[in-house]
Amino acid sequence: MSHPASSPSSPVPGDGIRLIIFDLDGTLVDSRFDLADAVNHALENMGKPRLSYEELPPLLGSGLSYLLEKATRETDPSVLRRARHLFDEYYSRHYADKTRCYPGVRDTLAALPHLRKAVYSNKAQDFTAAIIRELGLLPYFDKVVGAQPDKYPLKPSPAGIRIILEELGIPPESALIVGDSTHDIEAGKAAGLRTCAVTYGYRPAEVLKEAGPDFMIGAFSELLRLPLRKT
């Protein structure tokens, strides 16, 4: 059930909300299986032990460089460049083989036509856009933004959020960010947004609660129980 996650004085996303910014992996889609397969393709070709599907989720949310560092247990730039090449080679052909929307995503997005919506992910821009397109979600969004480290830093930096707000002409107090990571909550707070953590993704509820989101929901459809603007 959706509920306020902090004190009664915390802001409530009510009539002022005009934009919702969604994280991708662990929020809109469950992508861990394709990501794990791509990581394991790299590890196998480098003579390193595979990761299980269960080992992957705690490594997600901080971008591909972090994921590959942890998966390979390497810091040598040349080794990590090879890992990135092998990962990209595989993932570019298999990014949507096993990746699926979480239950309720399409119906819930369709029920919010009165709100502007954006995707903001720490996944590379090309892959973020490709997954949204492949899963048929593109019509629901005004903006789809992935990692572009040459233009702005990854979450928890608020830089990418501020670009989305500026391009869509929405003030921060009129926006809500929804994500499964403490990075999403931290970035949203730093940008002045209301924040909503989802507990069905890749982070335990107790970890998310410590980040102090304004709301926590256990299913995507519970967004509709928040008093979002209807006009």
pLDDT of residue 61: 77
Catalytic residue among 15, 23, 150, 180: 23
Q: Of how many residues is the chain composed?
A: 231
Is position 107 annotated as part of the catalytic site? no
Does 118 share its domain with 36?
Answer: no
Residue 230 lies in a domain: no
pLDDT of residue 231: 37
pLDDT of residue 44: 97
Tokens representing 168? 């869509």
Does 124 share its domain with 214?
Answer: yes
**Entry pTM:** 0.90
Residue 231 lies in a domain: no
pLDDT of residue 227: 72
d(CA 221, CA 219): 5
Instruction: Look up the CATH number of the domain holding residue 71.
Output: 1.10.150
Which stretches of the chain drop beneath a pLDDT of 70? 1-15, 228-231
Domain, as residue range, for 73: 32-94
Does 56 share its domain with 80?
Answer: yes
> From the CB of residue 78, how many other CB atoms can be counted at a distance below 10 Å?
8
Does 163 share its domain with 87?
Answer: no
pLDDT of residue 68: 95
Does 61 share its domain with 125?
Answer: no
Does 70 share its domain with 122?
Answer: no
pLDDT tens, 86-109? 999 999 999 999 999 999 999 999
Instruction: Look up the CATH number of the domain holding residue 200.
Output: 3.40.50.1000
